[in-house]
Every structure is written in structure tokens, then in C-alpha cells.
Chain A
């Protein structure tokens, strides 16, 4: 693992770490009574482990890894529905590579592809659009997945398809939103959360105000952060200072990229194309009200659920998690990945049982890669 030597500016990092220690002491945070800071975004989780920030910060600061990885929270039923659509002979199913290995009840997309389904990894929904233009005789379906960072790109692709009257393009929409699961976690009496690190690239799109409720209604500080180690450390410091000063505000550490009110073009496109689903299922977290988006009736021709009669269009359904999987508890910060009975046994990055082990941004994969697994092995 690489520690401080890798910081772009080790001196600055040391200075911030020292200030974190001072403020943590002022608050009275200790290893036994730590301050719990949740980093919502899986990209942050990955960076925290990659740079060993969890070990560098004062021992009174404990990171709780949030549900902010769209691959990790993808429910099995949705993977099954992807496979169902992809199996149709007329369909070219397109997806981001990240989703290929997420297990469904019977198979992952990777296995479905090996079994002959025409599944292609694309970099952008624009690639899927181009495939539709080039293959007028086939149905091209794009697996729309991700939080507000990815959501506008799918919306703009749908608008473009409508503009060209492409009739063989549709989206299986699994876009989800960040604020609602945070609200669900804050309403959970078992959760102890003292502050949040907000996902920077989501706020690049939606701005910082969708988090106002965290500060105003729940009295918790949140700092929108960038992805460099120094960004994260500074954000931890800003959260601690708010706690020390008895403040609860939404602060923007990443203002060099994040505009206060987000990106107007993206926000307009999202409002035009999507509406909230009454509720949406999250792997490990269950149904959360208004946490998912569906395509508006005006764009029904581009909605794969309508077109193929699957998913929520076919009625609600739930598939239980695999036996012994503790993804839900890990994702709500109740246990560490190493406490899952399957960790490193029935569940490894090569043979993942839960989604948190699939994505490099998942907490279990991060523990496995950067210490957890090795620590466990060494102990055995």
C-alpha cells in the first residue's frame, strides 16, 4: 500500500492530517468513541483505501462506506431482467463493462454473453445510439445505470434518438438518485452518522442544494468533495470543524469543478426525460421511496420496460439475496466487510457472491484489494 509518499504534496497532506488530529481531539473523538463520517460515493471509498487514508487519519475518525456505487446496489431481479431482454434474438444489448459480472439469480451478463446473447460493452450511450443507426433491423437496448453523473447522458441520448426518430433504440432505465438513500439511512434508528462526504461528480450535475435537507432537517454536516487524497482529507477536516463549531451546513470543497447550482443543460434534460418511480429496489437496502427514475410517457417508445413488457412494467417482484450474504449490512455501515461470513470464502473478486465484491468501488473489493483480505490471511 502506498502512504504519504504518494501524495502530490506530502507537506500539505501532513499539515491537513495534523489539523484533523487537533480538531478530532477538540471534539473528544477517540478510537472507542469515534466520529462516524460516511463517504457516500464508491469512488471515494476506493480512493480512501487506495491511499490508506483510513489509516492515516486520527484514530477518532471512522469512515463508514455508503451505498454510492450503482453496480453494488443493482438488485438481482434487475440483472435477471437484463438477461431476459438480452436473450431475445432481435436484441443487441449494450452495457457499461462494470455491470457485466454482477450476479443475477441464474447468471450474470457475462455468462449470458458466453451463452450466446448479443451483449456488447459500450463506453457511452452514444455508442448504443450509433449501433442502432447501423443496425436498423435489430433492437438496440442500452442498460441505463448510475447516479446523477450518468443519468443526463442517457437522457440526452434518448432525446437525440427521438430527434432522429430512431425506432430501434431503447433504454432499460435503472438510474437512481443519491439524496433518497441518504434520507433512508438517516431515518434508520440503527445508523450512527455524524457527517457526510458528498459525491463530487454527482454534484457537478445537480449542484450542492439537493443535500440541504441533510443539514437543515437532520442537523448533519456534509462536504462535497473531489477525488484526490488531499481533497478527501480537506473534506474530512471541514466536516470535523463543522461538528466542533456546532454547525450543520452543505459545504463545497470541490468548487473548482462543482457549480453551486449544477449543470443546467443536464438538469433540464433529466427533467424532460425522466420522472420518479414511486419506489425502487436497492440490493441490500430494499425498496426506497422515490429513489429511482423511469422514462416519462412522452418517451415511452424508448423505454425498454414498456417495449418488452419486463421489470416494473410487468409488476413488482423481489428476489432474495443469496444465502449468507451480508451486503445490506455492509452497505449500511453496520458491519465491516471482513465480518461477512462469505468474505474471502464464498465471495472473492474472481467469484463474487455479492455486488460489493464485483465493482472496484465496492467496499468488499476495496477491503480485499487493499488490506482487509491480506490482513485476514495473515491473521489465519
Chain B
């Protein structure tokens, strides 16, 4: 829960709510970019961010993202984060 996982911002989904779609190790998930909005929101597309419980918390470079992902995979944290994302999606589906 405490470690962020790198994801790449691939699209803006809701500009007023500052929401974007991030690709985290092949899993796509909507995240808030409120904390890293230091430029026009559209310019975030293509950037890498450290994503923590659904929020992009810091922008990082691609090299750092790759290294961090590798470390998280070794620690088993990457898998945990991906499973948590899946659980989150399921929790929502239960009522859809």
C-alpha cells in the first residue's frame, strides 16, 4: 500500500476532475493527476508518474520508471498493486 508504482499517462479522461488514464504494466486504470498538474493537462500525456492508490504523486523519467518497476517486481509489490487495482475494479462491478 505504501509504495508507488510507475505508470504512463496515456490519455486525459475528465479534464475538470483532473482524471487521466494510466497504463501500469499493461493494466489501464483511471487516476487523478491533480498532484502533478504543473502544466496544461494535455501535456501530461506520455509522461511517467509514480502512482499511489489511484493518484499520480510525482512525475519521473522513463529510466527511473523502468528501474523502479524492476525493483517492485523483485519485491512482489508490483503484483500486489496490480491485484489491488483488479480488486478495485471488481468492487465497482458488483453493483454495475
Binding site for B on A (CB under 8 A): 6, 8, 41-43, 46-47, 50-51, 69-71, 94, 96-98, 120-127, 130-131, 134-135, 145-147, 149-150, 152-153, 156, 160, 199, 201, 204-205, 227-229, 256-257, 259, 263, 265-266, 360-361
Q: Say whether B45 faces chain A, with CB atoms less than 8 Å apart.
A: no
Q: Is B4 within 8 A of A149, CB to CB?
A: yes
Q: Is A98 within 8 A of B95, CB to CB?
A: no
Q: Is B52 within 8 A of A8, CB to CB?
A: no
How many residue pairs between the two chains, A and B, have CB atoms under 8 Å in the bound complex? 137
Q: Is B50 within 8 A of A134, CB to CB?
A: no
Q: A123-B85, A201-B52 are in contact. Are A265 and B34 (CB under 8 A)?
A: yes
Q: Is A257 within 8 A of B58, CB to CB?
A: yes
Q: Is A122 within 8 A of B91, CB to CB?
A: yes
Q: Say whether B11 faces chain A, with CB atoms less than 8 Å apart.
A: no
Most buried by B among A70, A145, A227: A227
Chain B: CB-nearest residue to A96: B1
How many residues of B are in contact with the other chain, CB < 8 A?
45
Q: Which residues of B contact A120 (CB under 8 A)?
A: 91, 94
Q: Is B53 within 8 A of A47, CB to CB?
A: no
Q: Is B75 within 8 A of A123, CB to CB?
A: no
Q: Is B74 within 8 A of A6, CB to CB?
A: yes
Distance of A368 Cα from B22 Cα, bound (Å): 35
Q: Which residues of B contact A70 (CB under 8 A)?
A: 1-2
Distance of A360 Cα from B29 Cα, bound (Å): 24
Q: Which residues of B contact A130 (CB under 8 A)?
A: 92
Q: Which residues of A contact B95 (CB under 8 A)?
A: 131, 134-135
Q: Which residues of B contact A121 (CB under 8 A)?
A: 84, 87-88, 91
Closest 8 CB pairs of A and B: A124-B54, A123-B88, A120-B91, A127-B88, A121-B87, A123-B84, A228-B71, A265-B35
Q: Which residues of A contact B84 (CB under 8 A)?
A: 96-97, 121, 123
Q: Which of A134, A259, A360 contacts B96 (CB 8 A)?
A: A134
Closest CB of chain B to A225's CB: distance in Å?
Answer: 12
Q: Which residues of B contact A360 (CB under 8 A)?
A: 76, 80
Distance of A219 Cα from B4 Cα, bound (Å): 31
Closest CB of chain B to A74's CB: distance in Å?
Answer: 12
Q: Which residues of B contact A229 (CB under 8 A)?
A: 71
Q: Say whether B57 faces chain A, with CB atoms less than 8 Å apart.
A: yes
Q: Is A153 within 8 A of B54, CB to CB?
A: yes
15 contacts between A and B (CB under 8 A): A8-B71, A42-B2, A51-B74, A70-B2, A123-B29, A123-B88, A125-B54, A127-B91, A127-B92, A156-B34, A156-B55, A201-B4, A256-B64, A257-B60, A265-B35
